[in-house]
A and B are shown apart, each in its own frame.
Chain A
Amino acid sequence: MNERRREVLQMLAAGKITADEAEGLLAALEKEPSAPATGGSAETSAKPKPKYLRVVVEASEKSPIGEAITGKSERHGPAKVNVRVPMQLLRAGVKLASLIGPQATVAVNDALREKGFTLDLSQLKPENLEELIDGLGDMTVDVHDDGAKVAVFCE
């Protein structure tokens, strides 16, 4: 990006292009997405879509989270939970939820409102949640607390 701008300014300095032409070229460069420094193609810089959602929990022997996972207050070692869920399953679940009838949606909304959640399920659209799922690719959650580690990420 900086090299292209420099080239435009050099052409302007050399008189090869007019000031208006240079301004148009610089405006066009600003609108373009920034290319990588190595000058690679757009395809190589594109991130692959995540395929799986991973939840990894590691809890020490005395951690209450480990007790919640295993149901045992005394354990012989750290408790580990490793869950891998395909992203397609999340998409399929969203599409299944879209089949909820209006009567059931109202009942669910009322139940959520009683619990303090001001969420309207009828406003959830599959395309909106598709963007959310695509955005999960950059999500990483790391929690370290009381002898337990919780990591949620996409791969």
Chain B
Amino acid sequence: MIPVLLTIRVQSFRLWIPLIVVWILLLPLVLVLLPFAVVACLIARINPLQALLAFWRLLSALCGTEIEVNDGKNVVAIRIF
């Protein structure tokens, strides 16, 4: 399943980003760029369908990623749900 929520915490400030809205907003852009991506894949002799599936798997696998950096005074934490 593709990520649906991204949380960013900087110090005590928290930001929740609903990624589902981001994906919906990016969908028209993706559809416009898709033919160019297919042409680029064909030029590079890569199966466009396999490339698309690989990127989809990569995107779906992002769920559960956590990155937290604390230098003793500042804290930055990123979580993908």
Which A residues lie within 8 Å of B39 (CB)?
none
State whether the Cβ of B22 lies closer than 8 Å to any Cβ in chain A: no
Which A residues lie within 8 Å of B44 (CB)?
101, 104
Which B residues lie within 8 Å of A76 (CB)?
71-73
Measured in the bound complex, the distance between the Cα atoms of B55 and A80 in whole Å is 31
Number of residues in A with C-beta < 8 Å to the partner?
31
| Beta-carbon contacts under 8 Å, A17-65 to B | 51-52, 61
State whether the Cβ of A15 lies closer than 8 Å to any Cβ in chain B: no
The minimal Cβ–Cβ distance linking B46 to chain A, given in whole angstroms, is 5
A86 touching B63 in the complex, CB below 8 Å, given contacts A99-B46, A101-B46: yes
The minimal Cβ–Cβ distance linking B69 to chain A, given in whole angstroms, is 5
State whether the Cβ of A78 lies closer than 8 Å to any Cβ in chain B: yes
Contact between chains at B63 and A99 (CB < 8 Å): no
Smallest Cβ-Cβ distance to A54: which chain B residue: B66
Measured in the bound complex, the distance between the Cα atoms of B27 and A141 in whole Å is 41
Smallest Cβ-Cβ distance to B77: which chain A residue: A82
Which B residues lie within 8 Å of A69 (CB)?
69, 71
Against A, the Cβ 8 Å flags (1 = close, 0 = not) of B51-67 are: 10011011011111111
Query: In this complex, which of B51, B62, B71 has the most chain A Cβ atoms within 10 angstroms of its Cβ?
Result: B71
State whether the Cβ of A116 lies closer than 8 Å to any Cβ in chain B: no
Which A residues lie within 8 Å of B58 (CB)?
89, 92-93, 96
Which A residues lie within 8 Å of B50 (CB)?
99
A83 touching B72 in the complex, CB below 8 Å, given contacts A93-B58, A101-B45: no
Which B residues lie within 8 Å of A81 (CB)?
68-70
Measured in the bound complex, the distance between the Cα atoms of B61 and A95 in whole Å is 12
State whether the Cβ of A91 lies closer than 8 Å to any Cβ in chain B: yes
The minimal Cβ–Cβ distance linking A106 to chain B, given in whole angstroms, is 13
Contact between chains at B72 and A92 (CB < 8 Å): no
Measured in the bound complex, the distance between the Cα atoms of B55 and A104 in whole Å is 18
Smallest Cβ-Cβ distance to B78: which chain A residue: A83
Listed by A's residue number, 5 A-B pairs whose Cβ atoms lie within 8 Å are A69-B69, A83-B67, A84-B65, A96-B57, A102-B45
Q: Which residues of B are interface residues toward A (Cβ below 8 A)?
A: 44-47, 50-51, 54-55, 57-58, 60-73
